[in-house]
Structure formats: C-alpha cells, structure tokens
Amino acid sequence: MTSAAHTPLGGRLNTLVIDGRVVEGHAVLTPRGELVRGCADTLARTLEELPDRVSGVDLDMTDVVFMDTAGLQFLDLLDAYGRRHRVPVRATHWNGQPRRILELVGLDTEDPLRHASDRTAGPRTTSAVARERAEQLDELRVEIEQLRQAIVSRPVIDQARGVLMATHGCTSEQAWDILRETSQHSNTKLRAVAAAVVAGAEPKGPTPPEEVRRALRTAISRRLHGSS
C-alpha cells in the first residue's frame, strides 16, 4: 500500500510518499519526503485504503525532511481520523527541520498527537492540535515565511549549507541554523545571506557585506562553540 503526491512548488517537484502495511490489525505508515501543499490529500488517500477496523495507526516520521504549515493540516487529519474511529494514532521519530516546527508551535516533539490519545471521549469542537497551533500562530508565520523563501531558494541555500559544512565541519542542520540566525540578526533575506556565503567561497569572490559577516561570525561562534 503506497500513496504519493507530486506538488509543484518553487519550480520543483516536492514528493510525499506514504508506504503502509497492516500487522495484526494495526496500521504502520511510513511517510517519506516533505509535508507541503498536498500532503494532507496524500494522507487522506492512504487512510481511506486502510481496513474498516484497525486497532491503531502508527506513523514513523524519520524520513520526513521538510514541513511547512501544511504539515499541521496533516496532523489535524490524523487527529480527526483517530477521534472518528476511536483508535490510538501516533506520529513519532521526528527530526531536523520538521521537529523544529513542532517545537515552535508548542507541540510534543516525540509525538504531537500524544495529548489527543484518549479517543473514548468522542470529538471535540476544536482539536488539541488546532488549539495549540492558534496559540503560537504569530511566531509561526514569521518562521514559515522564511521556510517558504527557503523552498524557492533551495539550490543556493543548499550550496551555502555545503560551504559551511565543508569549512566548519558542522552538520547540515547546524549549517541551516547558522544561515537562519545570520539572516535574522543582519536583517537580510535568507537567500541573500546564502548567496553571499556561496560567492565568498569562490577564489576571487566578493566579501559579504559587513553586517552579514558580523552576524555570520556570531552565529558560527554560538552554534558551534557555545559562545555568544
């Protein structure tokens, strides 16, 4: 059982594939790709293919590499399915950028549906996921706007991450955090920061603007050396 979606965004194809199997009446789903526009539709098709009576649904989110606000719709749909069928639903093993989004909106990063595990009480007027999303919406909008820009600008941002990883021996996630923090502290768009990092890595490349260099040094020092 496999469902897939191909959604054009920012000039490229973002793919979500959900593999699934049912073991002794329990559904085990493995999404792979990105939780962006269309991901809830893919999940809906997957859930429709499940047997009428499953004892529960477990999702392993290890291979989900990116998430924007559509990922919250994905969680809402899972929550609604569990309540409608009165079965436990879990989504675990979050990492990287999707885990950061869960932190930002105040959800449990181990299982954002944990607090909604009691299915016997029946449906509520507002799901716990939606309620927590509303509480953090203003901060989330700022973060998601940066993420949308990152999708459109992904090639140059990926190059910049590669430059930072090669230069400073950091992980891909640390490189992303350095770029994002530099953008915030220098009041410079993320794409512009990434382009400056890539250009500066060329043998005769231009030096990044002073405010970007200063913010970049601070971010590297804080993220990699633990100093402010």
Domains in the chain and their CATH numbers? 2-137 (3.30.750.24), 153-225 (no CATH)
- Quick one: average pLDDT of 204-225? 90
CA atoms 193, 173, 141, 31: torsion sign: positive
pLDDT in tens, 125-181: 345 555 555 555 556 666 666 666 655 667 888 889 998 998 889 998 999 999 999
The backbone region for 190, taken as left when phi is positive above 0, alpha when psi lies in -120 to 50, beta otherwise, is alpha
pLDDT in tens, 90-123: 999 999 888 888 887 778 899 998 865 444 444 4
Residue 4 pLDDT grade (very low, low, confident, very high; cuts 50, 70, 90): low
**Separation of CA 60 from chain center:** 14
pLDDT in tens, 6-33: 333 333 445 799 999 999 999 999 999 9
At residue 122, the pLDDT reads 45
Residue 43 pLDDT grade (very low, low, confident, very high; cuts 50, 70, 90): very high
Question: Which has the closest alpha carbon to 214: 174, 187, 190, 175?
Answer: 187
- Return d(Cα 179, Cα 173) in angstroms, integer: 10
At residue 123, the pLDDT reads 44
- Return d(Cα 63, Cα 86) in angstroms, integer: 27
pTM of the complete model: 0.54
CA atoms 195, 201, 202, 207: torsion sign: positive
Euclidean distance between the first and the last CA atom of the chain, given in angstroms as a whole number: 49
